[in-house]
Amino acid sequence: MEHEITLVVNGAARRVRVPARRLLSDCLRHDLGLTGTHVGCEHGVCGCCTVLLDGEPVRSCLTFAVSVDGREITTVEGLAGPGGMSPVQRAFGECHALQCGFCTPGFLCTVTALLRDNPSPTEEEVVEGISGNLCRCTGYQNIVKAVHRAAELIAEEGR
């Protein structure tokens, strides 16, 4: 049986028909064409598919689209503002915190929520905060640097 649901994705209401078994990750990518959300493991381990659900980071591969009918979702495509890339996105570029970029959408969503809840995290809090996201390229050093840099940018820009 198919279900008619409405998701508010990056600020816009989107209606879609999905079978109950449609993962939110696949709904975003296949039904809505938002391929910025990446899918690695589909069992919650890699963190690539992390999106914000009503502002909180969740695994879109461990969420059924029907379960979040009516709720707000922010994907990597929705992180930039009208003035361009968000501070977290700019910090990742500046600090060379990505190489192939496969893991990056998940890190960006996770870190955006992390810094909103904790604007000046310690080294330990940063490492714990990103411990659920795997990156096979960078060795994490520059990702950790980028999180601190993003915190600075957010503080400087007062947003």
Partner 1 sequence: MKPPPFEYHAPRDLDEALRILAGVRGKVLAGGQSLIPMLNMRLAAPAHLVDITRVASLDALERTREGVRVGAAVTHARAEREGGHPLLTRALRLVAHPVIRNRGTVVGSLVHADPAAELPAVLAVLGGSVRLARWDGARGQVRDVPAHEFFVGPMESAAGPDELAVSAFFPALDERTGHAFHEVARRHGDYALAGVCAVVTLGEDGGVAAARVACVGVGPAPVVADLTGAGAGDWALAAAALSRRVEPEDDIHATAAYRRHLVAVLAERALKEAAGLAERASKEAAGGA
Ligand X SMILES: Cc1cc2nc3c(=O)[nH]c(=O)nc-3n(C[C@H](O)[C@H](O)[C@H](O)COP(=O)(O)OP(=O)(O)OC[C@H]3O[C@@H](n4cnc5c(N)ncnc54)[C@H](O)[C@@H]3O)c2cc1C
| Interface positions with partner 1 (CB under 8 A) | 1, 3, 19-21, 23, 26, 42-44, 47, 50, 53, 56-59, 61-64, 66-67, 110, 128-129, 131-132
d(CA 35, CA 16) in angstroms, rounded, equals 16
Question: Does residue number 131 form part of the binding site for ligand FES (CB under 6 A)?
Answer: no
Q: Tell which positions 125-154 bind ligand X, by CB under 6 A.
A: none
Match 């700019």 to its residue by tokens: 90
Longest dimension (CA), the chain: 51
Sign of the alpha-carbon torsion through 159, 135, 139, 121: positive
Q: Residues 25, 72: contact at Cβ < 8 Å?
A: no
Would you count residue 23 as binding ligand FES (CB under 6 A)?
no
Based on the shown chain and the rule CB under 6 A, indicate whether residue 137 belongs to the binding site for ligand FES: yes
Using CB distances below 5 to 8 A depending on partner kind, what does residue 3 bind out of partner 1, ligand FES, ligand X, none?
partner 1
Among 19, 44, 101, 119, which residue interacts with ligand X (rule: CB under 6 A)?
A: 44
DSSP helix/strand/coil, 57: strand
For residue 42, give the nearest of 59, 18, 67 by alpha carbon: 59
Strand, coil or helix: 35: coil
Query: Which of 44, 81 has the CB closer to ligand FES?
Result: 44
Contact 60, 37 (CB under 8 A): yes
Shorter beta-carbon distance to partner 1: residue 1 or 12:
1
Residues 58-117 that bind ligand FES (CB under 6 A): 59, 61, 98-103
| Smallest gap from residue 61 Cβ to partner 1 (A) | 7
* Binding residues vs ligand X (CB under 6 A): 44-45
